[in-house]
Amino acid sequence: MPLLHALPFIAYLLSGLLLTRYFILDSVTNQHRTIVNLMLLIACSSHGYILFELWQHDGVFFGLTVSISFVAWVVATLLFLTSFSKPIHSLGILVYPLSAFAVIIAFLFPGTQGKLISMSIAAHAFLSIGAYALLAIAVAQSVLVSIQERFLHEQIELAKLYDLMIMVHTPHRDKKKGTIRTMDLIEEHDILPHLVVIDHNNEGTVKAVLDRGYWAAFTIYPNTKMDSHRMVEVIRHYGADRIIVDSSADWGVSDPLAVPKTAALMRNNGISDLDIELSCYKNALSAYSQNGRMNEGDWISQGFDQSQLFEGNSVLRGQIAKKSKASY
């Protein structure tokens, strides 16, 4: 296979595999996105260059397999460009590998039922293909959303079956629309809103969540999503009713001590002790203890011993184990 044809084939396949890994592991990083975008830039550019073979001095060559390759290039390129502004990059898991195989098919069978058509007819064909490519992306996206919503419905039914609280992670992109749509889906199951925590809120979603009666949680990060200073202003504006401040220790830059740090910042900025206690402790306790499986006494009256293991695992990461006496 000539290098020019191997280049888009390999780049498309790598892009699809990287996107698959990202969605399976939920480990997207800026470096990861940069690599995928670089692969797609190489794939779409080299694929487009190959398609210059369509152009002849007296018209455009439209063979069956070459036309398939052209359609695949249009769909892949539109998806790549649109993904910068819309959260549709997950469609690449399907589209980019198919584009890779379209390149191979066109290479192996370049003259299948070929026909030279005039420029005027070719222009009409190109416009039609572009329109159908956009339609194909829209259809694929609607199918993907339908699948995602079906799984959400199943998770909600599991929570009802086992009498569990529901926690929702709001989407990273189109956050407000995604949050409202999620609440709409939850309400199809007759779930009482006080049994649902909507987490990863920001200033754009908090009012909608509170207005519909849900718990509004905010995961505090040092540099991204929601920081302590913005959280202070949210409490100042909305009060502490049904607002939960929490932290994270995940794959990105996070701070497991974000809650006490945010509480200290609230106090320094004139937030009342009652609002601090509600948002940083009591509201979470009230929300998650509703099914009777969590009780404040579990950690207040019984004390703790960090040297004890749970199924062979410890919470410690090199620290010296501490003990506290039980309080009665």
pLDDT, tens digit (0-9, with 9 covering 90-100), for 199-246: 999 999 999 999 999 999 999 988 778 899 999 999 999 999 999 999
The Cα–Cα gap between 95 and 88 comes to 11
Strands (E), 239-305: 243-246, 304-305
Q: Is 298 exposed, middle or buried (0-12, 13-18, 19+ CB in 10 A)?
A: exposed
Residues forming beta bridges with residue 246, ordered by sequence position:
219
Q: Do the Cβ atoms of 287 and 197 come closer than 8 Å?
A: yes
| Structure confidence by residue, pLDDT tens digits, 88-144 | 778 888 889 999 999 988 888 776 555 667 777 777 777 887 788 788 878 887 888
Q: Is the pLDDT of residue 183 over 50?
A: yes
Query: Is pLDDT at 278 greater than 90 in this prediction?
Result: yes
Q: Are 71 and 120 in contact (CB under 8 A)?
A: no
